[in-house]
Amino acid sequence: MRLPQRAQVLRCFTPAGNWLSPLFGRVVSGGRRRCADEYGDTVLSRMALVVADITTMEVDAIVNAANSALCGGGGVDGAIHAAAGPGLLEECRGLGRCPAGNAVATGGHGLKARWIIHAVGPVWAGGGCGESALLRRTYRRALELSRDLPVDTVAFPAISCGAYRFPVRDAARIAVREVARFLSCNRRPREVKLCCFEPYVMREYERAVSDLTGSSGRRMS
């Protein structure tokens, strides 16, 4: 997978320091989980969409779309291992296997990020094997780790959308909703950046945000 050489920030900081865009202007009021009122009107302002090489992002933690063996591979997983250096693989070998739907954390090694959260998403098998539930769980577990480390800023790739063949539209919808729900109940991470490796992936994420906020006439189910 060819990664962008530099981040193309499509949602940027306002002077006040908040992430803001026309898509991220409000939160749908009929969602299943509206926890603390202090988050209700600002949860989406804590999210951003970027087209970027995730290995270069200046955040506290990046999420790796890992395999269960935690041994590196293709796509973003291989890119992160290559950028972090051999110490990452050595640390991962001491952790054993990580089943789909779960995540573990390591140091950032040669990356700018202090932490790497290795999240193992499901392999798409047609949609009848619980893949969507596993992907939701993967995002929740990675977010829980980012909260508990704790970190203020974390960047996610499009988990399972490469070699694991998860349909990008469905995966984007799951990612946006799980992140929004988690942020509505938690102070950390303070900012979540959803990092897209191609413009067409960005378009699906924008569609998912539009659906979430109800601007296309639908609401959070």
Q: Which residues of 1-26 are buried (b: 16+ CB within 10 A; e: fewer)?
A: eebbeebeebbeeeeeeebbbebbeb
Say which of 37, 41, 53, 77 is annotated catalytic.
77
> Is the distance from CB of 196 to CB of 158 less than 8 angstroms?
yes
User: Active site includes 37?
Assistant: no
User: CA 10 to CA 102: how far, in whole Å?
Assistant: 29
User: What phi and psi values does residue 121 have, to the nearest 5 degrees?
Assistant: -85, 170
Catalytic residue numbers, as ranges: 77
